[in-house]
Chains A and B, each alone.
Chain A
Amino acid sequence: MIKLVELTKDFGHLRAVDKLSFHIQKGEIFGLLGPNGAGKTTTVRMLNTLTRPTGGEAQVAGFDVVKSAFKVKQLIGVSPQEVNLERDLTARQNLHIHGLSHRMEGIKKRVDELLNWTNLSERADDIIRNYSGGMQRRLLIARSIMHRPQVLFLDEPTVGLDPQVRRLIWDLIRDLNHKGVTILLTTHYIEEAELLCHRAGILSHGKLIALGSPQELMTSIGRFVVESLDNGVTNYRLFETREEACNFAQTRGENVRIRESNLEDVFIKLTGERIGQ
């Protein structure tokens, strides 16, 4: 559904995205995981026709994002990292205008349906300016799927939200996926990627350094972690099985903790940052 071939973006001397190649299957939730500045937003913006690639190619639903940009715009839904709703318009007006841009029919009915889905019906005729962060984010997602896109881009959909609201948004994302929407989401929250994504790509300095299901990625580095505190420094070691981890832990004495590995460990291991020994 989405195909990147050596997709590259330079900002002057800075290479923000470096020859990125991967495919996203129809019906998948694919996560791009990486720290701030890794190049997630730039990648998504190129796929959204917002930024022109410096090199390489990308296709969405079989259409080139540069050569067939207009076709791509018709097919995709975009929920950007920064909430860019019209602050002086109501929720209803924001959705209505989006529907008009896409030349939709039955706009009124669809607006009611989405306000209901996001639990915003009661505040539908209030100005967005007065909404909480969570409400704005929900409306942003509602707007991005107003025209029933086949492919949805969610750039850090839960950034800055408290845990309850975050769960609410995860439910919306899963619901959309069940309805058949292919989703590319970016995040720097480990938990979000592990819980939502069928597959994830890990991005560091514009390069894809790992790709697979969260399970595969975690297994590839070792399923168990022993954390030990030595002279105020936390050391990590990865093991394939619980027995190995336990055996090692016994040799370390006190101040040890055994836990399952997570995607953060994958990142630490691959980028070499923060890893002991």
Chain B
Amino acid sequence: MNFYPVFLKEMIIFKRRLFRIGYLFSNMITPLLYLIAFGLGLGRGISIDGVAYLAFVVPGICAMSSMTNSYSWIATSISVGRLHFKTFDEYIVSPVTPSDIMLGEVLAGVVRGMFASSFILIAGVLFGAGFPENPIFLVAWVLNCLVFACLGVISGCLAKSHEDTATFSNFFIMPMAFFCGTFFPLDKMPVFIRVPLSFLPLTHASKTLRAAFLGEGVPAVSLGIIFAFFIILFALGVVVIRRVNR
């Protein structure tokens, strides 16, 4: 196991970005916009199954934000490193294994995803939505970041051009952001929509995060499904890294 150099490199770059005001600001402003628009604006006075919409939507936006941030950072970093700066070659000629690279990159994605989405939890507290009631929230949160960081590595390694990662993001990541139970409950949706959505990891992540946030019974099946996604995508990522440059 020698994932540390890979992780450290990403963290140094991340830390440097943090000191740029614009970056930090955009990290804080996006979740705030969502919360204001959906939680306070649209959702004022609405409640879903007896829960204030604001408290309903905070874990949903947290799931969405941790997904996009874990994914896009890693996907871009790897595709640009492979296709443009050729820095990925330095990994390949070094005695670090594909699983080292995978683990280092994925952990870096988790840090990035949790950092960005933690602003939503903070904003949630400030606006009176409360704080996660069940510690399982943390488990589901980390798992969600892991799943999408794995996807980030995979799409970064498969991209044939810089635009490919954006395409993948527009076709898969963005739709998930809106339809996987992040902004509205799925149980009242027609079956032909609900069933396909139940194959997507974010559906289960937002379900679990919401239950844990509100202190309801945690859906063990959903948690298990996210975990399974993580294991499968991690293994797939290792395979994909092994085939880079062939």
Known: A70-B95, A78-B93, A84-B85. A51 touches B8 (CB 8 A): no
Contacts of B162-206 to chain A: CB distance below 8 A: none
Known: A97-B8, A103-B2. A86 touches B87 (CB 8 A): yes
Binds B, one of A87-95, A208-216, A251-259: A87-95
Q: For the side of the interface on A, what is the size category? A: 20 to 34
Number of interface residues, chain B, beta carbon within 8 A: 22
Q: Which residues of B contact A98 (CB under 8 A)?
A: 5, 90, 94
Q: How far, in Å, is A86 (CB) from chain B's closest CB?
A: 6
Q: Which residues of A contact B12 (CB under 8 A)?
A: 88-89, 93
Complex formed: what's the CA distance from A213 to B86 in Å?
33
Q: Which residues of B contact A274 (CB under 8 A)?
A: none
Binary CB contact string for chain B from 135 to 159 against chain A (1 if under 8 A, 0 otherwise): 0000000000000000000000000
Complex formed: what's the CA distance from A102 to B93 in Å?
10
Is the pair B89, A97 in contact by a Cβ cutoff of 8 Å?
A: no
Is the pair B87, A73 in contact by a Cβ cutoff of 8 Å?
A: no
Known: A97-B5, A100-B4. A87 touches B85 (CB 8 A): yes
Is the pair B86, A84 in contact by a Cβ cutoff of 8 Å?
A: yes
Q: Which residues of B contact A102 (CB under 8 A)?
A: 94-95
Complex formed: what's the CA distance from A162 to B94 in Å?
30
Complex formed: what's the CA distance from A86 to B89 in Å?
11
Choose one: B13, B86, B93; the contact of A73 (CB below 8 Å): B93
Is the pair A100, B5 in contact by a Cβ cutoff of 8 Å?
A: yes
Q: How far, in Å, is B22 (CB) from chain A's closest CB?
A: 16
A50 at the interface (CB under 8 A from B): yes
Is the pair B95, A82 in contact by a Cβ cutoff of 8 Å?
A: no
Is the pair A88, B13 in contact by a Cβ cutoff of 8 Å?
A: yes
Q: How far, in Å, is B44 (CB) from chain A's closest CB?
A: 43
Q: Which residues of B contact A89 (CB under 8 A)?
A: 9, 12-13
Q: Name the CB-closest residue of B to A88.
A: B13
Is the pair A101, B92 in contact by a Cβ cutoff of 8 Å?
A: no
B97 at the interface (CB under 8 A from A): yes
Binary CB contact string for chain B from 1 to 33 against chain A (1 if under 8 A, 0 otherwise): 010110011001100100000000000000000
Q: Name the CB-closest residue of A to B4.
A: A100
Q: Name the CB-closest residue of B to A90.
A: B12
Is the pair B89, A49 in contact by a Cβ cutoff of 8 Å?
A: no
Binary CB contact string for chain B from 80 to 100 against chain A (1 if under 8 A, 0 otherwise): 000001110111111111000
Q: Which residues of B contact A86 (CB under 8 A)?
A: 9, 13, 87
Q: How far, in Å, is A181 (CB) from chain B's closest CB?
A: 16
A74 at the interface (CB under 8 A from B): yes
Contacts of A63-115 to chain B: CB distance below 8 A: 70, 73-74, 76, 78, 80, 82, 84-89, 93, 97-98, 100-103
Is the pair A97, B92 in contact by a Cβ cutoff of 8 Å?
A: no
Complex formed: what's the CA distance from A48 to B94 in Å?
10
Q: Which residues of A contact B89 (CB under 8 A)?
A: 50, 78, 80, 84
Q: List 7 A-B contacts (CB under 8 A).
A: A50-B92, A78-B93, A86-B13, A88-B12, A88-B16, A97-B9, A101-B96
Identify 14 new A-B residue pairs, CB closer than 8 A, beyond the known A78-B89, A86-B87.
Answer: A48-B93, A50-B245, A52-B245, A73-B95, A84-B85, A87-B85, A88-B12, A88-B13, A88-B16, A89-B12, A97-B5, A97-B8, A97-B9, A101-B2
Q: Which 10 A-B pairs have the closest CB atoms?
A: A100-B5, A101-B94, A84-B86, A73-B95, A101-B5, A78-B93, A74-B95, A97-B5, A88-B13, A84-B87
